[in-house]
Amino acid sequence: MARSIRVSLADFLILRPRRDNAVMSDIRVLTSKSLMPLIKLDVATHQKGFVAPNAITMAQSLFEPGNEIYGIWEDETPVGLLAVVDMSFPGADLDEEDDPDGLYVWRLMVAKDMQGKGYGRAAMEYAIQRCRDLGRKQLLLSAVEDEHGAIPFYEKLGFTRTGRIVSEEVELVLVLDRT
């Protein structure tokens, strides 16, 4: 079972998931100092069509009400990026079918050399906890349907397909217990 220690600092929100035989990563709010190292990260060549570059995510965040962007770090080494949107945020851009009682994982990116080491799982554990902290009932995301895509990863975490296709991607949901 995962244990978390949360420490609030002036510019960072840090979550350090601790698991036996797993890496320990920090999930930190994007700052002006962390911007360039995160922009330089890249995914494997065969994944280029699955997730936008981090620079695009950061630029689009200017126009996405309710978004939060986090860097995934191993000590001072950038590992990836997590972006979420609070769907109940005033002015959130929702489709007619969207339930505002959710948090949407807008982007999850782990650098090519850091994949398969638990960083994506740690980021998703953070997103689940953030969803709970906001009092939302569901965590949503969408992913490209491809034999090399991330859908099996999300399904192992408990996400299920909603049956919707959003921007040509399969939508998945994790309904959280509010107890």
Residues above pLDDT 90, as percent of the chain: 72
Phi, psi of 127 (to 5 degrees): -60, -40
Q: What is the pTM for the complete model shown?
A: 0.85
- What's the fold here for domain 3-175? Aminopeptidase (3.40.630)
Condensed to tens digits (0 to 9), the pLDDT of residues 113-137 reads 999 999 999 999 999 999 999 999 9
Q: Give the residue-averaged pLDDT of 3-18.
A: 37
Residues above pLDDT 70, as percent of the chain: 86
DSSP bridge partners of 69: 83
Residue 22, Ramachandran bin (φ over 0: left; ψ between -120 and 50: alpha; else beta): beta
The pLDDT-based confidence of 177 (bands split at 50, 70, 90) is confident
| Range of weakest confidence among 84-88, 104-108, 175-179 | 175-179
The pLDDT-based confidence of 43 (bands split at 50, 70, 90) is very high
The pLDDT-based confidence of 86 (bands split at 50, 70, 90) is very high
> Where does 52-178 show beta strands of DSSP type E?
67-74, 77-86, 102-110, 138-143, 160-166, 169-175
Per-domain residue ranges for the chain? 3-175
Mean pLDDT over all residues of the chain? 87
The pLDDT-based confidence of 145 (bands split at 50, 70, 90) is very high
Give yes or no for residue 103 having a pLDDT over 80: yes
pLDDT of residue 179: 57
